[in-house]
Each structure stands twice: as structure tokens, then as C-alpha cells.
A and B are shown apart, each in its own frame.
Chain A
């Protein structure tokens, strides 16, 4: 049974067809890759799934439930977490508070609870804090909990973004180029980290990546997008031999040769 399925999804921006009739399905507890040249519409897929954009047509289902038209925060609560290509941490908050923001969804309280200092407010706040600290420790960020995200090196910012996404306790984790800007050593660590987290948190992971070593080591199934269309899918090896994929990446003459 597919956890996430897109059927015939299109997204047009004033005549620009960012996605055209894309269908894909992600089985529960699998690791799936989306690859393709720049501007192929990979991030648009994530933006549709997380509700930032509404598809022009098509359906998106999470575990059989329709996601189209739901606001992003509902979709997040339904179990979809993501990271962003151009890291989008909350600059004004500390490392710990960044993770706490996501943790708080599962222990919600309102204004009146705070104003009246009701006992469950303190209790929930303590739970949020300890869960966030656990996560930070798990991703080896515990020491940095009081830093501002902007002061962290790039690799750690990426890791913090993953920690923040995990704090939602998602079923589906969408990683948008997690390897961008990392050095080979960090890439190795990242691959191990993603595999370990997917196992530990029973995650289903979809990742957009340009770095083939990441896709090859993690993904059993790969979708290839080009100019908003799905041009191929299959195992990494199948896809790499597909002439259309080679054409999309290197130009048509290479594919014909």
C-alpha cells in the first residue's frame, strides 16, 4: 500500500507548466529518490505535497486521505515533514527553540492556558523541552542548543533542519537536496544518518538529490523529472541506462550515441 500517491498532478504558473501530469507512488517505509536537471519541477512536487501550492489538477493522497486544499500546517500535522533546498531555519530562535517549535504540535496549548498558568501548560512545556533535547542529542547537536542557527556551519544547519522536521514525528519525510554544499566526508555521514533515522523512526523518505552517490546508496526506486514531466522511473541502475535520462542530463546527441 502506497503511503504517498500523486495521480496525474499538474501545476501551472500563469502559463508556465511547472509540472505536467506527474503520477508517483511511494510505498510505506521505502526510500525513494527524485532526480532531474535544474528546473525540472522536483521542488514543485514537494511544494504540492506540503500544501504550499495547490495543484492545477490531479490528486495527492497520504495513506488514502486527500491532501489537496488542506493548509500546510494541517498536512504537517497529518505526518508530512520536509526540509528546504535553501535551508529555512527560524533565524530569530535558538537551535533548541527551532526544534521545540515543531515538537509543540503534538502538545498544543493555547493563550488562556498560558495566561492562567494552568498546570498542564507547564507539564506540556516540560515534555516539549525534553523531547527536543533528546532529538538534538540524537543528532549530536545537543551542545549547540543555545546557539543561533545562523552561527552554525552549513553542514550542521542542514542537520538541524532534519532534526526540526523529525520533531514533528512524521510518517513521511521529504528531503530537498540534503547533500547540497556538503563535502565528501559529510556526505558519507549524511547517508548513514538518513538510513539510521529512517530505521529508528520508521520513516518513509522521499529525497531530491543531485549527488548520485546519495541516491545510489539510499534509494531503491528513483523517479526522473525533466521539464515538468516524468520521463523515467525504476531502480537506480535501470534509470542510469535509460536513454531519455541520459538525454535530459547531457543533451540529446549523447543519448543517441
Chain B
């Protein structure tokens, strides 16, 4: 576990989880303060199955994802019809409950001491691959009918319903996708560090993901990825100011929200045609555009 290899893995896992937050918060406009708990569910379920039942890497990761989806469904079904604040509250409560559960069931999870001995399987290239895949998935979703439905219901739920968008169903789907991605990141995480404990998945981590999203721009996948890379890698190089890391984060976010509310990247997306458009713009400015 060299410095750069672990940096790559942790940054990649952040990208995966933050892509889930992008779907939930950026597109559907819902807040979850318990996303890290779904990461915990993924990590523990996959890890426990691997340790106790000798399940292989791929099935264990899949089981971790399925478990976080099931947990997501448990939270979503009763509260998704209610006001958005209630959803935020329920996810927060879920996060705390999961932590208490993991701490208390010492016999199964090792309690606060953590779970040891998950086989080390995850390689940096796998995480990079998974991160690229999740960015691709979310980008495709954003351009699909689901993405349009989410963005429609984010701005105006009543108008969206009137245009035939099944808002309840779509919100549940957005939440499940984000839970699945968080669980996926968690399972990969466990198989990299070989050790997980409940304190790793507190609500601060969930809040950090939201901060990353807002810093990059809630409407821009490009911005979110860039901000995930920057904000998760930068502090590693700034260890000497460790204490000031969080206040610095907070200052950045408060300034962003107040002064540049649409994030550093606004609505801008990098696309394959972007270089072409930039060139066209340059030509036009120089009066070289085709008639």
C-alpha cells in the first residue's frame, strides 16, 4: 500500500460514492446524511461474507451492494412521500442507528474494535475502472429520460407529476442508485484495507460528499468529479495543516454557496465535442467562421 496507490484508491472510491450523491442530491434534489452508513453496510456485509463464509470477491461485493439496496429500501419506502427534510432526517437517523448496531453486535462485527481479516483483493486499477464506470453510468443516466425526470421533479414536483412523472418512484430509484454506489464503494474499500470499523462511516463523511458536490456544481458531473479529485487528494498533501483541513473545507463551501451558488463549474459539462466547440468559438471570434 504505497502512498500513491492508496491515494488513488481512496480518491477513486470517493468518486464512486459522490456519483451516487450526484444522482440523489444533484439531480433529484434530495439530501441524505446517512450515505456513509450505506457504505458501511456494503463494507461489512461483503467483508463478513468473505471472512465467515469464504465467499469470493465478486459475489461478496455483489452481496454488499444488494444489502445496501435493501437497507435503502427500508428507509425510502416510509419517508419518500413526505417533505424532503423528513427524508434527510430519516437518513441521518439510519446512519446513527447503523453505527450503534455495528458497535453493539460485538460478536458478529467486532464492535468498536472493528472487523479484521478481510482478504486484500482490491487493486488500484480495479477502483479506477469502477470509478470510470460509475461516472459513465451517471452521465448516461443524466442524459436519459430518468435524468430529465429527476431534474424536473427537483425544480417542481407538482408540475412534474402533472407531466406524468411518477415522482415517488423516481425518488426511490435515485436513492437506491446512490445507496448501491455507496455500498459498492464500501465493499471495495473493505477488500483494500482489510479492516473496517464503525467510526469510519460517520455522518461527517456523508456531509463531505455533499460538500464535494456543491463545490463542483450540483448540475455538473464534470465539476463534481474535478472537485472530488481535488478535495480528496489535496488534504493528503497538506497533512501539516491537518487541523485546519475541515474549517478550510467549510470556508470554501460557504464562500461557494454565497458567491458562486452554482458551484465552480455551474452547468458546464465536458463532452467529446467540447474541443471542437472551443475551436469553433475561436474561429468565430477571429472572423474565420464558414459563411
Which residues on A are within 8 Å of B, measured CB to CB? 50-52, 71-73, 76-77, 81-82, 84, 88-93, 97-98, 100-102, 104-105, 107-111, 114-115, 117, 121, 124-125, 128, 164-165, 168
Contact = CB atoms under 8 A, between A and B. Distances in A.
B154 A77 contact: no
B73 to A, nearest CB: 14
A100 B161 contact: no
B16 interface: no
Given A111-B146, A114-B140, A82 B162 contact: yes
Contact of B160 (A90, A111, A117, A124): A90
B155 A128 contact: no
Interface in B150-201: 151-152, 154-156, 158-168, 173, 177
**How would you classify the secondary structure of chain B's contact residues: helix, strand, loop or mixed?**
helix
Nearest to A100: B148
Given A88-B158, A92-B154, A114 B164 contact: no
A105 B164 contact: yes
A67 B209 CA distance: 42
Contacts of A168: 163-164
Q: Looking at A50, A91, A114, A168, which has the most chain B CB atoms within 10 Å of its CB?
A: A114
Nearest to A91: B155
Contacts of A88: 156, 158-159
Nearest to B158: A52
B144 A76 contact: no
B282 interface: no
Contacts of B149: 101, 104
A121 to B, nearest CB: 7
B156 A111 contact: no
Contacts of A114: 140-141, 144, 146
Contact of A93 (B141, B151, B166, B167): B151
Contacts of A102: 163-164
A92 B167 contact: no
A73 B146 contact: no
A90 B219 CA distance: 14
Contacts of A128: 145
Residue among B141, B151, B168 with most chain A CB within 10 A = B151
Top 4 nearest A-B pairs by Cβ distance? A76-B164, A72-B161, A88-B159, A104-B145
A95 to B, nearest CB: 12
B144 A90 contact: no
A62 to B, nearest CB: 14
